[in-house]
Amino acid sequence: MPANQLAWRSRIRYYDNSRTSRRTETQDERLLNEKRRYGDTPFDAEPLATADIDHLDLRRFEEEYLPQAVNRAVLESNDRSLFQRLAATKMVATAEDPTPTVTGIPVLGTRPQDFLPGAYVQFLRIAGTALADDIADEARCDGPIMHMMRRLDEKLSAHNRTAVDITSGRTDRHRSTYPLQALQQLARNAVMHRAYDETNAPVHVYWFDDRIETGSPGGPYGGVTIANFGQPGIVSYRNPNLAEAMRALGLVQRYGVGIPIARRTLSENGQPEPAFNVNRQWVSCIVGARP
């Protein structure tokens, strides 16, 4: 091989190795920072320096979020200012410094992806069983978290199929290709537990002919490890304030039950339980179609 080609290949290998090394160092640094933060102020309570109070929909906060998050009697009895209420719910840093937080922007932001570019869900309906097959439908589900999850629910419902069995019993039996509740729980878990720092990757929901794959950036956190991921009672929250906001909005029921609910509803629909592929940077969940 000519000397100039050998030199170029050597340079390319050096570049690729250097790029891989830098990427690994960045991921390791993120994991180290998470370990340092574990038990301290979580990342989702940190202010976003490039955002200000004008980037939050304050009317939505007062008319939609607060009535669901705080008991009406408590709201009526206290005399907290708007900024104090925003700070108490972790939507801004403090009442004196109302800079939106990593929780406030996805919950109340007018344009959340301007500040958290990966804070959306990429939906694909793939006509086949491989990622390279034709795409039958796609949607970028973005905007505030409530709108984002409603948009995803619409896509999941539109592509689901329900069969009616009128021969095996006295009453009609309706069975869907997938139980919608299981898909919702798994997708919302992915949004709730994902890493929002050091990545612009979105959550993805890829619907194939034979399965649905849900992927979330960020591996296990805190007391959850690769070895115990998904086991009953093993719960740790990378984004506890966002989790509380999603609970207040009715997107999740209560802590630690998303995967058990998905397992139960899949079993009732005659399907195997979800399979998880977990590493330090990514969590993927695969649900097989009903036979």
User: Within 129-239, where are the H helices?
Assistant: 145-159, 180-193
Dist. CA 156–CA 10, nearest whole Å? 48
Question: Is the dihedral angle over the CA atoms 151, 156, 161, 164 positive or is it negative?
Answer: negative
Tokens of residue 121, six digits: 């869900």
SS3 46: coil
Residue 140 CA, distance from chain mean position: 14
Dist. CA 82–CA 92, nearest whole Å? 11
> φ and ψ at 287, to 5 degrees?
-115, 120
The helix (run of H) or strand (run of E) holding residue 278 is strand 275-278
27, 280 Cβ separation under 8 angstroms: yes
Tokens of residue 108, six digits: 């109340």
Burial category of 66 from C-beta neighbours within 10 Å (exposed 0-12, middle 13-18, buried 19 and up):
middle
Residue 227's pLDDT is what? 83
For 125-144, write each residue's pLDDT tens digit.
999 999 999 999 999 999 99
Residue type, 150: R
Give the right CATH number for 121-288 from 3.30.565.10, 3.40.50.720, 3.50.50.60, 3.30.565.60. Answer: 3.30.565.60
- Strands of 211-217's sheet, edge to edge? 135-141, 121-126, 203-207, 211-217, 282-288, 275-278
């906060």: which residue's tokens? 61
For 180-202, write each residue's pLDDT tens digit.
999 999 999 999 999 998 889 99
Residue 155's pLDDT is what? 97
Dist. CA 1–CA 232, nearest whole Å? 59
Locate the domains of the chain by residue range: 1-37, 43-110, 121-288
Pick out the chain residues at pLDDT < 70. Answer: 1-40, 163-174, 254-255
Dist. CA 125–CA 205, nearest whole Å? 9
Pairing of strands 282-288, 162-165: unpaired
Residue 8's pLDDT is what? 44
Residue 162's pLDDT is what? 72
Dist. CA 112–CA 120, nearest whole Å? 9
Residue 147's pLDDT is what? 97
201, 118 Cβ separation under 8 angstroms: yes
Dist. CA 209–CA 272, nearest whole Å? 16
Residue 202's pLDDT is what? 97
**Residue environment code for 182-214, b if the CB has 16+ CB neighbours within 10 A, otherwise e:** bbbbbbbbbbbbbbbbbbebbbbbbbbeeebbb
